[in-house]
Each structure stands twice: as C-alpha cells, then as structure tokens.
Structure 1
Amino acid sequence: MKLFSERGILTKESPFEIAETSDVVITMLPSSANVLDVYTGPNGLLRSGNVLRPWLFVDSSTIDPQTSRRLSVAVSNCSLKEKKHNRETPVILDAPVSGGVLAAESGTLTFMAAKICNNLALAVSMLGISEGFALGQSLGISATTLTKIFNSSSARCWSSDTYNPVPGVMEGVPSSRNYDGGFASKLMAKDLNLATKSAEEVGVKCPLTSQAEQIFMDLCNQGQGTKDFSCVFRHFYSGKDET
C-alpha cells in the first residue's frame, strides 16, 4: 500500500472505504472465501447495507458459480445512493480474465466466460505436453527438436508454442527462470477442484480433471505450490535440462 501511495495513487485501509469513495470497483482474488470476505465481510464492500455508492462491481476472480450467484443476489438486493447511468440498483459482473501473468504484464488480459472450463482444458493440455516431452527426451530426442515437431504437427497448443514447460527451450516464460512467477500450481489445483465440484453437481464425468487435480495437489504437497503450474513437467521428467 505504501508503495502505491508514494506514487500518488489513492489507497484505502479496507474494502468498505473503497466502496465509499468509488463508482466502479474491480476485484481479482485467489479464492471464493477471499471474495466473500472482501464483499460481505465486516469491512467488506457491501458493509454499508442496502444503499451503495458504486453502481458497478466487476469480479475477475476465478471462483465457483455458486459464490458468483450468491454475490449477484446480494448486490441486486441493494440500491444506489444516487441514480447513475439511468440505474437505481448496482450491477455485478462475473468477468474472470485470460492470459496469465504474461498478458497482465503486457496489458492484454481478456475478460472471458467459462473460465473454469478453460483452465480445466489448460491443465490437461499442459500435462499432455509435459508427458510428451518427458517421453521424447527419455528416448533421446532433444526438447528443442520435440518442440519443432509438436508446433508443426497436431500436438501444437498454447502449452507448446507459447508457454513451453521445458527449461532452456523458450525465453521469457517461467520454465526459463526456475518456474518462478506465472500462474501458481496451488491456484491451478484450486481451479481444478472447482471444476470437479461443478462437474459433480451437474452429473458430468470428468476423469482427466480429477487426475489432473490430484497431480497438482501432489505438487503442492511437495512444496511446489508457489511455482508456476508448468513445473508439472518435473512430475514426469527429472533428467538433464536443455542447454
């Protein structure tokens, strides 16, 4: 907070104080529990009761649908202190983002729907690519050669051509800096847990999701929770890195 205030950016001590001085509020938090605390906690954004100043809340957290619906009901039951944009009641948008740390740094994050489904597919594709690299390298094929093959064939995907998990193959990605920075494995495990629960609620079988969740939970239990999720490559391969 001090860092921002020293740069002339207005800061507040609590979400409630932010709501008292803002017309639009954007939140981006790690978990459903964090979101509920920030919105409905003792010093939350909705603490003032049924009359609010902000006319628009945008929650860019990746959380379960039930929490999003709960927040929607809570906000829709409020009214505005002053009518804004021809509205008498505030609005909350469920708007998770896509692009990860690289997009955040470049200012190209994209709002998206179906974030849990997207991250489910991302996790499974990263596991598949990591398995492919592990097998290929164990058979004596270099990661650089494998990357060229994958990216000119049907295996091509974001995990191979933009976010390669093998150290020494691609610059500027977490695998090139000991998997520091990026999207933490513990957050991927959290998202996969949300996907698993959502699948159970609607009766959809997602065996790959369940297995992926277990693998990322194992990484967290091994002390890799803060490392980028592409470190899952190490779950399959412990041989010599690309030079």
Structure 2
Amino acid sequence: MKIAFIGLGNMGEPMASNLANAGYEVYAYDVMKQKTISAEKKGCIKKESLKSAVKGVDFVVTMLPEGRHVKEAYLTKEGIVNNASPGTILIECSTIDVETTKKVGEVALCKDLFMIDCPVSGGTSGAVNSTLTFMVGGNSETLKLSLPLLNVMGKKIVHMGELGSGQAAKACNNMLLGISMIALGEAFTLADKLGLDQKKLFQISSEGSGMSWAMLNHLPVSGIVDTAASNNNFKAGFAAHMMLKDLTLALSAADSTNFKCPIGSLTKSLYEKFVKSGGGSLDYSAIIKLINGTHK
C-alpha cells in the first residue's frame, strides 16, 4: 500500500516514520527540503514535489500548519486534488477551521477523492510513541478504510460526525488545554508566592481534584514532570503561537454559533500578549513566564 505524507514538522515526521516502520511505502514531501531528507533517513521515500508524491498512491495524509497551507496543498494546479488518482483517500490531520475543511472536502469529492478530517491530540510525544488521539469527521466507510493507518499512528480514534466535526472537536479540546495551562501557571505561581513547595503541591493536586492532563504531562514548573518543556528552557513541543492559532479557531467557531466564551477569550488575550512580546516560539507552557513576571 502506498501513502503520501505531506508536512513533516514536529508532528508529521514521526507520524510518517511510524507508518514506514509498520511496512507501508511512504512517499514523504515537505516544502522545506531538509525535512524531507530527515524523513528519508527514518524510512520514508523522499519526493521532490507534491505532485510526484501523490501520484498513484492509495492514501494521502496531510499535517500542515494552517488553513492557507491546506488550501494550497489541496486546491492548486500542482496540488493533491488535481493530481491524486480517483478513489484515493485523503486523511487531513492539520488543525484548521471547519469552513476550509468542508470546502476542500467538497472539491475533493467532485474528483472522486474521499476525505476525512482527523486532527490529533497528544503532542509530539504522542506522535513519536504512536499514542495520538484522532478526532474524526467524515464518512464512516472512509474512516473504516483508514483505520489501519490511524491505528499505526495513534491509540484512540473517535468518530465525531460529518466532515468538519473533527476540527470542531479539536477546537474545543485545545481551548480547554489553553485554559488549563493558564490555570496551572496561576496556581503554581501563587503557591510559590505563598511559600509552598511546588513539588509537594504537585504531589497533592496530581492525585486530587485539581489534576489535569496538562499538569501530568506539561507542568510549567521544572524538575517535577519528566516530559515537561519547562525542564528544557521551554523548547517548544507545542509552540505558544500555535496555541494562539488554535484559540483563535475555537473562538471563531464560537462566534459562528453566537456563543460567547469569556474564559476562552481571556486565555486568547494572554497568549496574544505573550506571542506579541516575543514568546511565540517557546512552548505553550511558557505562558507561566508572563504570569509570574519573568518574561522579558
């Protein structure tokens, strides 16, 4: 079975290499040539163009930064829709807006290409360890045919509904994640100012009612959680500017339903301030630096 994997960033490269290691023939392409070379070293087959990558494959998996990149990859003359063979299944894993997802899916269907949207949760560690959660929108039969690939890249697949439902679920999930990180930053900063031992606070809260996934995996205080970016000067696994993008998507989705999200809006404003002041390339957990006053 032949798979084209488009987008080889922090998430895409390990996802592609896991497919290759599982025995699939994976054609890898990224606009940044060095990323394609890196994927080749991890078992993928390097392709020099998007057009050549998608020719004659059974599946196309995309993991791209924003909606504009997805439109470019799918809808241009040299893109996926105009060059993939009829019957190809498109697995769109980027985190983008629902409107773009539906538009691309509709255009693809006119060419007998079948798309599901499959944004993920679990971060770079989930991508590396094949423990991602996929939130899927689209036709159930297309999902069924895609399950062998998704099961290689992740451990949980949830069918949320029609095309675009995966993106809607991801928007809600990441708004919750952003809010959780702000709360963690405030609580652990307050603990420090009150003279509490932050490790002991973690011992209590990580097994109590204040526990969250963000706390157990991405605690913004160093020396407590092994997988936390705070141990490595907040080197980004999931960058703050990407969190801001996802919060913007979530609030845009809320606006489309005339629903107000006051806590989500406040979270977005804090990340916006952090990104504008130079923190965008740091991990999203580095927002604690804005909260505790150490960000300069």
TM-score category of the 2 structures, normalised to the smaller one:
0.7 to 0.9
* Residue identity opposite 2:133 in structure 1: T
Task: Return the match for 1:22 from 57, 71, 80.
Answer: 57
**Residues 76, 90 of structure 1: 8 Å contact kept:** yes
Task: Return the match for 2:191 from 131, 136, 140.
Answer: 136
Q: How does 1:48-87 map to 2 (within 5 A)?
A: 48=83, 52-53=85-86, 55-78=88-111
Task: Return the match for 1:167 from 222, 232, 241.
Answer: 222
After TM superposition, the score normalised by the length of structure 1 is: 0.88
Instruction: State the Cα distance separating 1:7 from its structure 2 match.
Output: 5.9
Q: How does 1:1-243 map to 2 (within 5 A)?
A: 1-5=36-40, 9-48=44-83, 52-53=85-86, 55-78=88-111, 89-112=112-135, 113=166, 114-238=169-293
1:94–1:136 CA distance, 2 compared to 1 (3 A): same
Work out the CA distance in 2 between the residues paired with 1:145 and 1:6: 43
CA RMSD of aligned residues (A): 1.7
Partner SS for 1:168: coil
**Residues 22, 54 of structure 1: 8 Å contact kept:** no
Task: State the partner residue of 2:28.
Answer: none
Q: Which runs of 5+ in 2 are unaligned?
A: 1-35, 136-165
Greater percentage in strand: 2
Q: Which runs of 5+ in 1 are unaligned?
A: 79-88
Instruction: State the Cα distance separating 1:218 from its structure 2 match.
Output: 1.3
Identity of aligned residues (%): 31
What whole-Å deviation, never above 9, does each CA across 1:5-51 have from its counterpart, x for those lacking one? 45663222222222213110000111001111111124211234xx7
- How many aligned positions are there? 227
Identify the structure with bigger relative contact order (alpha carbons < 8 Å, sequence gap 6+): 1
After TM superposition, the score normalised by the length of structure 2 is: 0.73
What whole-Å deviation, never above 9, does each CA across 1:121-170 have from its counterpart, x for those lacking one? 11001111111111111111121011112123211111222221112222
Partner SS for 1:211: helix
**Residues 171, 249 of structure 2: 8 Å contact kept:** yes
